[in-house]
């Protein structure tokens, strides 16, 4: 189980400070599959990386089996790395193109002290399980010889060889063509059946809804709503979630998508609700007071002054 408490991440670029994540809480139970959605730049990747201590937050902590992941060292850290893995958004950037596929996948095993014989077996079976068959052919190839879809599978194989208990998957399919996306998502469903928990990050809720149990919605660094997939898809509460879901294109001729947010150039108020400028239901209270996370129905939380 991984639990993030009040994580805030700040980036400095030049003399500008970007609050990529603000006081975000997220809990991933054993065997749970969680979705994280939100617009581009809302802090999804940053939050996902801080869960794995790959980004250092300004405040807050992440607990892994009761230990703060930013403090662990040595053997503990190695174990933490083995049990918790990440798959990156862009396989072209996350794989060192100088290495053969075999070496790409074996890196984690080598670091974690697996012997050469053990490695071969594990790597071949992982390549098979992500659909790169025959494994002998792929393991000798260089990343440049593979397509984006194949490379993304390699990235997945690299993570699953360590048999992790938790995987952060950052937009695992957004680079891929529609016709092969589901093939990758299937791998995640299979892993879930084996008890691996996951955080799947995507700006595409319709894809998420097919595979995850719970969905968290982020907006400008804040988690604004979370609940079960059913709650979020069928009864979105936060105005942003509502807009997000109604904007999803529906594959049916003449279907009209509704646009529920206001277009504006107004700045985000410093103390109030981050959605204030674009919110169609905004009230005066929203300008000065940041809404608190409240449980509206069992398991369904939202931070909005409307509730």
Partner 1 sequence: MSSLNSLEISSLSTYYTTKRGYLKAVDKVSFNLPKGSVLGLAGESGSGKSTIVNTIFRVLPKNAIVKEGSIMFNNEDLLKMNLNFFRKEISWKKISWIPQGSMSILDPVYTVKSQMIETINAHEDISRAEAMEIIYKSLKAVNLPDDVLNKYPHQLSGGQKQRIVIASALLLDPEIVVADEPTTALDVVVQAEIVKLIKELQKQRGFSMIFVTHDLSLLAGVSNYLAILYGGKLVELGTTEDIFKDPLHPYTQMFLKAIPDIRKWKERKLYYIPGELPDLISPPKGCIFNPRCPLAGGICKESSPGLEEVSKGHLVACYFARGGKRND
Partner 2 sequence: MNRLVNQLLHRKAFLISLVILLFFIFIASAANYLTPYKDPYTITSEQHLAAPYSIPIWARIFPQYSKYPPNTNMDLKSPLILGNGSESFNGTAYTVELKPSEYENLSFPLSWNYQYPYSFSISFIAIPHGQAAQINVLLKQQNKTYFLESFVPSADQILYTYPTCPLSMGKTNSITISSESLSSSNSPYVSTLPGNERYIASAILPQLIFKPGKYSVIISIENIGTSPLKVYIYQPKFSAVGRAYGILGTDNNGASVFAEFVLGARFDLEIAAIATLIIVGIGLIFGLVAGYVGGKVDLFLNALTDFFLTIPGLPLLITLETIFVVSGLILKIGIVPLLIAIIGGLSWMGTMKIIRSVTLSVRSRTFVEASKALGSGPFRIIRKHVLPNILGVVFAQIAYDVPVVILTESGLDFLGLGITKFPTWGNMLGYASAYTSPANGFVWWWVLPPGFAIIFLSVALYFIGSTLQDVLSPYKVRGE
Ligand X SMILES: Nc1ncnc2c1ncn2[C@@H]1O[C@H](COP(=O)(O)OP(=O)(O)OP(=O)(O)O)[C@@H](O)[C@H]1O
What is the contact surface with ligand X in residues (CB under 6 A)?
Answer: 11, 13, 18, 20, 38, 40-46, 203
Min dist. Cβ of residue 211 to Mg ion (A): 18
Residue 61: contacted member of ligand X, Mg ion, partner 2, none (CB under 5 to 8 Å, by partner type): none
- Determine the Cα–Cα distance for residues 183 and 12; give it in Å rounded to an integer: 38
Give which of partner 1, partner 2, Mg ion, none residue 107 binds (C-beta under 5 to 8 Å, depending on kind). Answer: partner 2
Query: Site residues for partner 2, window 172-191 (CB under 8 A)?
Result: none
Closest to ligand X by CB, 11 or 70: 11
Q: How many CB atoms lie within 10 A of CB 202?
A: 24
Q: Which does 18 bind (CB under 5 to 8 A by kind): ligand X, Mg ion, partner 2, none?
A: ligand X
For the chain, helix (H) and strand (E) counts, in that order, are 12, 12
**Considering beta carbons, is residue 195 or 249 the nearer one to ligand X?**
249
DSSP state of 228: E
Rule CB under 8 A: is residue 162 a binding residue for partner 2?
yes
When binding is defined by CB under 8 A, the residue of 94, 119, 182, 289 that contacts partner 2 is 94
Q: Does 78 bind partner 2 (CB under 8 A)?
A: yes
Beta-carbon count within 10 A of 75 CB? 8
Rounded Cα gap, residues 278 and 267, in angstroms: 10
Point out which span in 84-92, 171-179, 182-190, 220-228 binds partner 2 (CB under 8 A): 84-92
DSSP string computed for 138-198: HHTS-GGGS-HHHHHHHHHHHHHTT--SEEEEESTTTTS-HHHHHHHHHHHHHHHHTT-EE
The site map against partner 2 for 114-153 (x = CB under 8 A) is: ----------------------------xxx---------
Binding status of residue 112 toward partner 2 by CB under 8 A:
yes
Binder of partner 2 out of 47, 52, 237, 244 (CB under 8 A): 52
Task: Give yes or no for residue 107 binding partner 2 (CB under 8 A).
Answer: yes
Number of residues that bind partner 2 (CB under 8 A): 27
**Considering the complex, what minimum distance in angstroms separates the CB of residue 185 from ligand X?**
18
Which tokens belong to 141? 């190839």
3-class SS of residue 205 = helix
Instruction: Report in angstroms how near the CB of residue 170 gets to Mg ion at its nearest.
Output: 6
Q: Is the alpha carbon torsion for 38, 42, 45, 51 positive or negative?
A: negative
- Longest CA pairwise span in the chain (Å): 66
The answer to whether the beta carbons of residues 70 and 56 sit under 8 Å apart is yes
**Which stretch in 10-18, 34-42, 105-113, 293-301 sits in contact with partner 2 by CB under 8 A?**
105-113
DSSP per-residue codes, 285-302: HHHH-PPPPEEEETTEEE
Coil, strand or helix at 78: helix
Give the interface with Mg ion as residue ranges (CB under 5 A).
Answer: 45
Give the interface with partner 2 as residue ranges (CB under 8 A).
Answer: 49, 52, 54, 77-78, 81-82, 85-86, 88, 90, 93-98, 107-108, 111-112, 142-144, 155, 158, 162
């Amino acid at each position: 189980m991984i639990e993030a408490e009040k994580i805030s991440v700040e980036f400095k670029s030049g003399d500008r400070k970007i609050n990529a994540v603000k006081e975000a809480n997220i809990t991933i139970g054993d065997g749970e599959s969680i979705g994280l959605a939100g617009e581009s730049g809302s802090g999804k990747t940053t939050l996902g990386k801080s869960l794995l201590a790959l980004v250092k937050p300004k405040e807050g902590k992440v607990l892994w089996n009761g230990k703060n992941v930013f403090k662990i060292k040595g053997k503990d850290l190695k174990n933490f790395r083995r049990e918790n893995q990440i798959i990156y958004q862009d396989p072209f950037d996350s794989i060192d193109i100088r290495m053969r596929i075999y070496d790409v996948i074996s890196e984690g095993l080598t670091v974690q002290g697996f012997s050469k014989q053990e490695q071969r077996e594990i790597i071949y079976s992982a390549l098979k399980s992500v659909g790169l068959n025959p494994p002998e052919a792929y393991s000798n190839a260089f990343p440049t010889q593979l397509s984006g879809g194949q490379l993304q599978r390699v990235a997945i194989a690299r993570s699953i060889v360590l048999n992790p208990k938790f995987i952060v998957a950052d937009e695992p399919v957004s680079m891929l063509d529609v016709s092969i996306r589901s093939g990758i998502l299937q791998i995640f469903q299979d892993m879930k059946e084996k008890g691996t928990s996951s955080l799947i990050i995507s700006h595409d809720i319709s894809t998420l809804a097919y595979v995850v149990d719970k969905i968290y919605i982020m907006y400008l660094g804040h988690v604004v709503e979370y609940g079960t997939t059913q709650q979020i898809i069928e009864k979105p509460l936060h105005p942003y979630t509502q807009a997000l879901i109604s904007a999803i294109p529906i594959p049916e001729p003449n279907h009209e998508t509704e646009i529920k947010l206001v277009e504006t150039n107004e700045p985000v108020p410093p103390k109030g609700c981050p959605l204030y400028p674009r919110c169609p239901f905004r009230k005066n209270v929203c300008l000065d007071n940041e809404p608190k996370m409240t449980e509206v129905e069992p398991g369904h939380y939202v931070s909005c002054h409307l509730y």
